[in-house]
Amino acid sequence: MNRKLNFWQMTPPQILVLGFAAIIVLGACLLTLPFASATGQSIPFIDALFTATSATCVTGLVVVDTGSSYTMFGQIVIVSLIQVGGLGFMTMATLVALVFRKKITLKERLVLQEAFNQGSMEGIVRLIRRVLIYSLTIEAIAAVIFTIRWTFDLGFSKALYFGIWHAISMFNNAGFDLFGTVDAPFVSLTGYVNDFVVNFVAMALIVLGGIGFIVMSEAIDYRTTKRLSLHSKVVLSMTGLLIVLGALIIFIFEYTNNRTIGSLDLGGKVLASFFQSVTPRTAGANTVDIGAMRQASQFFIVILMFIGASPGSTGGGIKTTTFTILIAAIVTMIRGKEDIVIFRSRLAKDRILKAITLTMMALCLVIMVTMLLSTTEDSQFLKILFEVTSAFATVGLTIGLTPDLTTFGKILICLTMFAGRLGPFTLAYALQPKQEKELYRYPEGKITIG
């Protein structure tokens, strides 16, 4: 009775944290089973835990190659964790409840509100229905296209399996793939660098999964409503800007690099540049060797990863809306204005403070973990910074450090992926004691800045 009472006294952030943790532990236990490993022997628990964390947090960082190290059972466990982690365990629980016509309780609505970062519970169940319909429909369409394309290379049955598997992985911005072999592990989509169909479908999945379900819903309804909310306008415009700007910068930096896009024709260079610009938006797949890129390109990708996807999506990072608010605040201060205005709408002060707080918390987390790993891992600083940012933003891109991590490094990266998936605010609210309302305010003071 006390346990049940304690559960119902838990806050929505605490339920989310414990729910994700439970799924990760369950996944790790399943992946340690002998028949989950291609060798028939149990993989070390720390490696199984790392893989389960990466899959549930839809990251894509792996210490062992997914395609060659796991059996079909292990691969199905991983893709199931990706689907549950990407859509959220509460979304999947709601699906079960809707199928069996069970009522969604107030507590469950509160958790769903927290999971999708909504301001109110109004229409939350309707949103979940749309999330499920859109997700499964998009994944099904992509799976069909992938299957048709890969049938020429792999045969129908294997192409069907690969099509479904990679459609789920790409839409949920996970970055896991099955193309690695014992002789050539961790290859991702490098064999399809010039393939327009594979590149286009993968990029479409990544972008659709990264803009957020609210934006997707408004975009679909636009033909009838003829309006978009400020949130959707910011997400769509900033997403488009970052993709185009990112592709242009990567194209310029890597144009003469024969180890990446230098040896491709002009069309291949453009296609590869766009893919490598889209994938840091928390996807993790790659069509060129990220480790072979110039350091300027790698550092630029770190910036793109830190920004990440958009709120209410399958991606991580500080989010495009946060980045937009920060840029708008800087421009407003430089112009000497008082109000921050975006698309002729004035932002409330609490939105600005939340954006600054989230960015500083994320920055502090990345800096702290990078410093710790710099003392335990024998690697270059940029490699470590790249790895940590990739883990925090749940991207999954790496320049070669992941398989060589120490046990301490693996645990630290696991915690970073966990924090990145749930978000610094959710973790902070889950860990802090219950706050009482302050009954007084201190006098205002002034500090010289600049």
CA atoms of 2 and 24, how far apart (whole Å): 26
Q: What is the mean pLDDT of the chain?
A: 87
Task: Please give the model's pTM, rounded to 2 decimal places.
Answer: 0.89
Q: What single-letter amino acid sits at 89? A: F
**Strand 345-346 versus strand 341-342 pairing type:** antiparallel
The answer to whether the beta carbons of residues 430 and 11 sit under 8 Å apart is yes
Least Cα distance to 317 among 244, 397, 249, 251 occurs for: 397
* Within-domain flag for 449: no
How would residue 443 be classed by pLDDT, with cut points 50, 70 and 90? confident
Least confident residue range of 101-115, 208-222, 355-369, 402-416: 101-115
Residue 375 identity: T
Mean predicted confidence (pLDDT) in 129-158: 93
Contact 90, 111 (CB under 8 A): yes
Write down the residue that tokens 């990544």 correspond to: 206
Distance CA 173, CA 121 (A): 26
Residue for token pair 């690969």:
162
What average pLDDT does the segment 129-151 reach?
92
Domain count, the chain: 1
318: in domain? yes
247 assigned to some structural domain:
yes
Distance CA 165, CA 163 (A): 6
With residue 345 as reference, give the H or E element that holds it: strand 345-346
DSSP conformational letter for 293: S
431 pLDDT exceeds 60? no
Answer whether residue 403 is part of any domain. Answer: yes
Residue 423: the pLDDT is 75
Q: Residues 203-237: pLDDT tens digits?
A: 999 999 889 888 888 888 888 888 898 999 999 99
Percent of the chain residues topping a pLDDT of 90 = 60
Q: In the predicted model, what is the mean pLDDT of residues 259-263? A: 94
Max mean pLDDT among 154-163, 184-193, 431-440 falls in: 154-163
Q: Whole domain around residue 242: which residue ranges?
A: 2-431
Q: What is the pLDDT of residues 93-107, one digit of tens each?
A: 555 555 556 666 665
Within a domain: residue 391?
yes
- Is residue 437 situated within a structural domain? no
Q: Judge whether 448 lies within some domain.
A: no
pLDDT at 4: 45
Q: Is 389 domain-assigned?
A: yes
